[in-house]
Chain A
Amino acid sequence: MTTTSNVPAYGRFGGFGGRYVPEALIPALEQLEEVWRKAVVDPEFVGELERLHRTYTGRPSLITEVPRFAEHCGGARIILKREDLNHTGSHKINNVLGQALLTKRMGKTRVIAETGAGQHGVATATAAALLGLECVVYMGRKDTERQALNVARMRLLGATVVPVDNGSKTLKDAVNEAFRDWVANVATTHYVLGTVTGPHPFPEMVRDFHRVIGVEARQQVLDLVGRLPDAVLACVGGGSNAIGIFHRFIDDRSVRLIGFEAGGEGVASGKHAARFSAGIPGVLHGAFTYVMQDEDGQTVESHSVSAGLDYPSVGPEHAHLLESGRAEYRPVTDDEAMEAFSLLSRTEGILPAIESAHALAGAIKVGRELGPDAVLLVNLSGRGDKDVHTAAEWFGLIDGEGATRLPDDDGAKGMGVQQ
């Protein structure tokens, strides 16, 4: 690849990664890297983060085997890593607590964040409340509408939510706005970037804060089934939950690592966020990685029923895992994800986040490919409470205007309980 032939390997995963940001931010990135590298070998920092994981987040998170769901997965054993049970309802809190502690160490008093589904924004608002930091969250207008519950949660936690009306009004535009804020306020403000992309050191640092997912899960699976899983599955938006569960398994060459991107209405439709199916390497938001772009290098808007996966780029380490052949990535359509959402809810009593439902849909496919002897570890990265409105609309339980009156269940008919 000629585009990377002359650049140093610093902050790179293979040829991917780097630091493509305005010069004004370089000192802040250098400070962040220095403070972070010192902190992770400082027993006080490590101890404080572990204490928060244990007493606040609820780590270690459980694993749950789901046999009734597995009946639909070719009989393979399916084990879920329950990041949905973390405080704030997703894996995002792992990274946010780490970065919030670093913010204090840097002597900064304000944090900003971008959010798509709202999970990262909620986690950041939570950590800011816990540690007494001012918090501003940028969120695309379209996402504030489809994730209204999370907007309310952030405001209840004392954060300011700024709807972003530029561009596609989704996650990528929220990131742009967060960068603009950061350039102007970098002296007092830390940008709590929510995924494993952006300029170095974010992809590596955010990965390391999420690595606990795979470290716990690997031992838990060994304890439960006496061997490593055949495959580890996760959804991939920016890719933080996926890299978090993948990373501990990278040296276990027998374990397949499979990421599932948002296939939206199908890759052929053009309305998707399948960067590894339709993107090519380029630069977006500070990193050289796969980007959905046109022939002029303009970013192409992504589409997904899932706000958290609706992003035209992906973490650079995933690009490296793809090109090196260590991981594989496949698209899952909106329809497939929603079917898996419904299936897990009805067979196991667990409402997954729509993002995580993409990994569940992947488990249905991969389980059928590998058959009943296979053991699949699936990262259930978040819970579906925030998605109740979207899912209820999708399945026709409420009308499009969001009216609160529900139609009667089929089973209720003739039983004299209708009004």
Chain B
Amino acid sequence: MSVDSVFEKCRADGRPALIGYLPVGFPSVEGSITAMKVLVDSGVDIVEIGVPYSDPVMDGPVIQDAAVRALAAGVHLTDIFTAAREVSDAGAGALVMTYWNPVLRYGVERFAADLAAAGGAGLITPDLIPDEAGDWIAAADAHDLDKVFLVAPSSTPERLSAVTARCRGFVYATAVMGVTGARASVGEAADALVSRTREHTDLPVCVGLGVSTGDQAAEVGRYADGVIVGSALVRCLTEADSEEQGLEALGALARELADGVRRSRA
């Protein structure tokens, strides 16, 4: 399902979208795809399929740990296409989140073509700003893919304007200044950032970094068009004693979050 139609459906339901991140390849490629399908079955609207990377400067310890273990277990970049196909077939939006070098190495145009062929919706690029993204923007436009760039509490009005003008799909608003990871409170900066971002774009604005509970999802969902959850979901898998137990915990948390976004505007 395209990201556009996901937000259309959510708007019709009068609720924000729920976006869940998992890295491909942990605990195995197959196991990670099963986990992504559990997310979809539990009410996640868009799966953010993470590419494990050796030097993830935007990630906190939980996602770093999963990436290290996925790489040790032998995950390859091309596994992302299998995951995108399966997530898309399961009825959710399949967005890939990747640091830039793996795409650069694969070939930007070739990556865009193969992602589109696999049913992927587009890319979220945490270390690629639009100013450096000429090749990606051209390839994404040629293959009808979404381009999700990030804005931050530190972003100036000039940056918000420049970044949102190059986004397609949605705008990723990082709730706090920092790396990924669950936080006790998402903070007021996120609300203000969403308002400031909306002054520059009609695209949906989704909030990530720090959300881990249904209550936080409900709170963020009051002002954001989408709630993005990563580390809290990943931790369900990395801290589980067995794969079954991990999937159970993952499904339970995803349902709690799905319930959170559904009561956010009730």
Contact = CB atoms under 8 A, between A and B. Distances in A.
Contact of A297 (B56, B101, B128, B138): B101
A297 B152 contact: no
B240 interface: no
Interface stretch (A21-29, A90-98, A391-399): A21-29
B129 A21 contact: yes
Contacts of B105: 282, 293, 295-297
Interface residues of A, number: 42
A419 interface: no
A296 B76 contact: yes
Contacts, number: 129
B177 A24 contact: yes
Nearest to B176: A184
Contact of B156 (A20, A22, A27, A176): A27
A298 B71 contact: yes
Chain B interface category by residue count: 35 or more
Interface of A: 2-3, 5-8, 10, 18-28, 166-167, 172-173, 176, 179-180, 183-187, 282-286, 291, 293, 295-299
**Chain A to chain B: the 6 pairs with minimum beta-carbon distance, closest first:** A6-B134, A297-B105, A24-B152, A297-B102, A184-B178, A179-B57
B155 A23 contact: yes
Contacts of A5: 134-135
B103 interface: yes
B231 interface: no
Contacts of A2: 108-109, 135
A293 B177 contact: no
Given A179-B57, A298-B71, A20 B132 contact: yes
Nearest to A30: B156
Interface string B63-87: 0100010010000110000000000
Of the listed residues B58, B60, B153, the one surrounded by the most CB atoms of chain A closer than 10 A to its CB is B58
A291 B105 CA distance: 11
B163 interface: yes
Contacts of A8: 131, 134
A180 B135 contact: no
A24 B208 CA distance: 13
B128 A20 contact: yes
B208 to A, nearest CB: 12
A28 B132 contact: no
B245 interface: no
B174 interface: yes
Of the listed residues A180, A183, A297, the one surrounded by the most CB atoms of chain B closer than 10 A to its CB is A297
Of the listed residues A179, A285, A296, the one surrounded by the most CB atoms of chain B closer than 10 A to its CB is A296
A296 B102 contact: yes
A184 B129 contact: no
A295 B105 CA distance: 7
